[in-house]
Structure 1
Amino acid sequence: MPTLDRRGFLRLTGAAAGAAVLTACGPNMAGKPGSSGGGLKINSFGGTFQSAVQSTVADAYTTKTGVGVDLITAISSDALTKMRAANNAFDLAYLDLAPLYQAKAAGLLQKLDRAQLPSLSELYPLAVDSGGYWVAELASMTGIVYHTERVKTPPKSWKDLWDPKYRGKVAISNVSGTAGYHFLAMAARLNGGSETAIDRGFAAIASLKPNLAAIYSTPDEMSKLLTSGEADIGVWYADRTSALKSSGAPVAFVRPQEGATAILSAMCLPAASSRAKDAHAYLDFQISSAVNGKFVQAIAEGPTNSKVTLPQQFLSANYVPYGQQEISSLIQLDSEAISKNLSAWITRWQQEVAG
């Protein structure tokens, strides 16, 4: 089964220097006396994600506890491969939900100990796995992006993408990307289906073909489609829209009235972790209100701790889900079902959509 990783596209393009570094440690702390056995091994996605983790979480954690942190650059798909090869590859892991559920299905994860996570009670419900295997450290969303100079009336619904006025001007993601399988799931839901009854989603996307300008494979391709004029509107990520808008492009993000789909990056504990106590302490530090607030501002994402207060200047510049009302309006897709069915969806997509 393929492993899905939007963060690989999103973060590894953010800062080449960060992505090129295989490991990064807090300054002179990995072997500091008092550290319980050297650096805590944690994968990170490279780029701006890794820079934010290093500066707002890892270094501060080491300063506070004396426990060193070794950040090992590995996007979710690579981290899953490493975990399959050696389950002690990491003491704690950052993973997107589809690969995370693949890791769970393979027996590579252990449940978290809620008693060691006092900050858990402050998190929004969507950030805490009901099964006990993961806790999310950030939230973003998939919705509709449009070019404000070429689309004068902002779209309101996912269904607007089928409007004939957008003939030849809609861009969507390949189903192997997060925005792609999110949109397929929403197309199914809009027509009476679901993640486990996907036929109506494929039928709906087949009927969208007259409106399609392109099916993109990476977020960078979508940026070019919007700025070149090839596409006026499409399915994209809130944070990528924020970044493109900050570069001067006339674009805006819309949360469809049916709901934008939630994107969560989560932390989990490998089954063979020998540093469970330190891993829990680091995770709780990451999701505490003070640290979560600094982290999401450094990476321009939404917080998962309900106690975080974000400045208006940040909120005005970025499209982030924030506050109980916005967070609760996000649609939580069945990531476990997606992880089980995605391989078949990709094959079917090649036959029915891309072909």
Structure 2
Amino acid sequence: MFSSRTRNVAKVAGVIALSALVLTGCRAATGDDAAGANSGSLSVNSFGGVWQEGLEKTVVTPFESENGTKVGLTTALGSEALTLIRGDSAVFDVAYMDLAIVEQAKEAGLLQTIDLGQVPNAEDLYPLAVDEENYWLAYITSMSGIAYNTDQVTEAPTSWEDLWDDKYAGHVAISNVAGTVGYQFLVQAAKMNGGDENNIDPGFEAIERLMPNVVSIYNTPDEMSRLLTSGEAWIGPWYADRTGALKASGAPVAFVEPEEGAIAVISTMVIPKDAVNVEGAHDYINFQLAADVNSEFVQATGLGPVNAQSELPQSYLDENYVPYGEEQVDKLQAFDSAAISKNLSAWIDRWNTEIAG
């Protein structure tokens, strides 16, 4: 007999046309489940592709073996997971979400707080990986900075301000503001000119001044990959991990952390409000945040760790642009995700009118 949450997963997933749906294990939300005890099964979303391959190899399979808990994976990006949770907040025990999506879920009352007493590995996390209100814990960190084509730019940039330099006229690529690196760059531009997340006018004014240098406003990471690889764009704000992957493919690219600071990009784990297996959810989160597991997972996905005790080999650090070590992580800028979530819709409308239009 299928549980109500299994039926709701299928129903809502059909509405949003998820390309893959893999749920293993079904249980009635009664008895021990209703009390939040570890029932022996756990429902978790996954981002698919290489990310999911790394998750299964370094987290899911070892966790199942060690804890005797079966983990069912549903392929759903953060926004898709939020749609599922809106339909039934018992659909997942643990959900992976980026911060902007988490803020929407929090505002809608769809999350419960994480009991850090049940996640002892949280004590070893960098401060930016722990929510002050305990609604989320980060499991990876990356950063946004400046990527550039090394064939076209022979002297590495040092500052975000360099993007406004006339020598890059017609060769800068920037992201649409709807993308993470896009709204981060807008906030960065505002901060450099006396504004912030709640006073974005200086940011829009700075982007308008930048437009003579802009060759393209890209909408997806793949577009930026093409622009940088071809040399159509010489330079622009981009993700460290994407730059590293592109460099590994043989493209002439490099990444720098501007002197004002690169911008933290973190992704989190949350527990939905009506999660069935709350105890198991805490066990799973704690397992993924262990120093050795965190190290193995980030190496499988090309990202940086959140556990300060995680050790990465020098060969990995030489080949990837990842924030690593207390000194480097402390230099990352962390923007106000709640304010960004609140204002982003208005920013997108304004961007489409004043910048992209």
TM score, norm. by length of structure 2: 0.90
How far has the Cα of 1:172 moved from its partner? Answer: 0.4
Q: Work out the CA distance in 2 between the residues paired with 1:331 and 1:24.
A: 38
Aligned to 2:159: 157
Correspondence 1:312-327 to 2 at 5 A: 312-327=314-329
How far has the Cα of 1:36 moved from its partner? Answer: 4.4
Residue type of the alignment partner of 2:64:
T
Aligned to 1:11: none
Q: Work out the CA distance in 1 between the residues paired with 2:199 and 2:102.
A: 22
How far has the Cα of 1:38 moved from its partner? Answer: 4.9
Q: Work out the CA distance in 2 between the residues paired with 1:147 and 1:50.
A: 30
Q: Work out the CA distance in 2 between the residues paired with 1:309 and 1:227.
A: 32
Residue type of the alignment partner of 1:289:
A
Aligned to 2:298: 296
Contact 1:111/1:132, CA 8 A, preserved across alignment: yes
Q: Work out the CA distance in 1 between the residues paired with 2:295 and 2:338.
A: 28
Contact 1:30/1:70, CA 8 A, preserved across alignment: no
Stretch deviating more after TM superposition (282-291 or 36-45): 36-45
Of residues 41, 46, 55 in structure 1, which corresponds to 2:43?
Answer: 41
How far has the Cα of 1:220 moved from its partner? Answer: 0.2
Aligned to 1:82: 84
How far has the Cα of 1:37 moved from its partner? Answer: 3.5
Q: Secondary structure at the match of 1:175?
A: coil
* 2:202 is the counterpart of 1:200: yes
Contact 2:287/2:293, CA 8 A, preserved across alignment: yes
Contact 1:30/1:68, CA 8 A, preserved across alignment: no
Aligned to 1:137: 139
Stretch deviating more after TM superposition (225-234 or 175-184): 225-234
Give the unaligned 5+ runs of structure 2. 1-17, 28-36
Aligned to 2:343: 341
Contact 1:30/1:38, CA 8 A, preserved across alignment: no
Contact 2:41/2:277, CA 8 A, preserved across alignment: no
Contact 2:46/2:96, CA 8 A, preserved across alignment: yes
**CA 1:149 to 1:24, structure 2 compared with 1: closer, same or farther past 3 Å?**
farther
Q: Work out the CA distance in 2 between the residues paired with 1:63 and 1:20.
A: 28
The percent identity for this pair of structures is: 53
Correspondence 1:208-219 to 2 at 5 A: 208-219=210-221
How far has the Cα of 1:48 moved from its partner? Answer: 1.2
Of residues 49, 52, 59 in structure 2, which corresponds to 1:50?
Answer: 52
Residue type of the alignment partner of 1:109:
L
Q: Secondary structure at the match of 2:246?
A: helix
Q: Secondary structure at the match of 2:265?
A: strand
Correspondence 1:1-355 to 2 at 5 A: 21-23=20-22, 36-355=38-357
Q: Work out the CA distance in 1 between the residues paired with 2:92 and 2:19.
A: 19
Residue type of the alignment partner of 1:175:
V
Q: Work out the CA distance in 2 between the residues paired with 1:65 and 1:297.
A: 23
Contact 2:38/2:278, CA 8 A, preserved across alignment: no
Residue type of the alignment partner of 1:112:
I
How far has the Cα of 1:22 moved from its partner? Answer: 2.1
Give the unaligned 5+ runs of structure 1. 1-18
Contact 1:136/1:266, CA 8 A, preserved across alignment: yes
Q: Work out the CA distance in 2 between the residues paired with 1:248 and 1:219.
A: 17
Q: Work out the CA distance in 2 between the residues paired with 1:109 and 1:21.
A: 24
How far has the Cα of 1:224 moved from its partner? Answer: 0.7
Q: Work out the CA distance in 2 between the residues paired with 1:138 and 1:201.
A: 28
Q: Work out the CA distance in 1 between the residues paired with 2:295 and 2:211.
A: 41
1:224-247 CA-partner distances (Å, limit 9, x unpaired): 111122100001100000110001
Q: Secondary structure at the match of 2:85?
A: helix
Contact 2:140/2:266, CA 8 A, preserved across alignment: yes
Q: Work out the CA distance in 2 between the residues paired with 1:252 and 1:271.
A: 42
How far has the Cα of 1:85 moved from its partner? Answer: 1.1
Superposed CA RMSD: 1.5
Stretch deviating more after TM superposition (48-57 or 133-142): 48-57
Q: Secondary structure at the match of 1:42?
A: strand
Structure label with greater radius of gyration: 2
1:137-175 CA-partner distances (Å, limit 9, x unpaired): 000000100011110110000000000000000000000
Aligned to 1:13: none
Q: Work out the CA distance in 2 between the residues paired with 1:230 and 1:327.
A: 32
Q: Work out the CA distance in 1 between the residues paired with 2:40 and 2:327.
A: 42
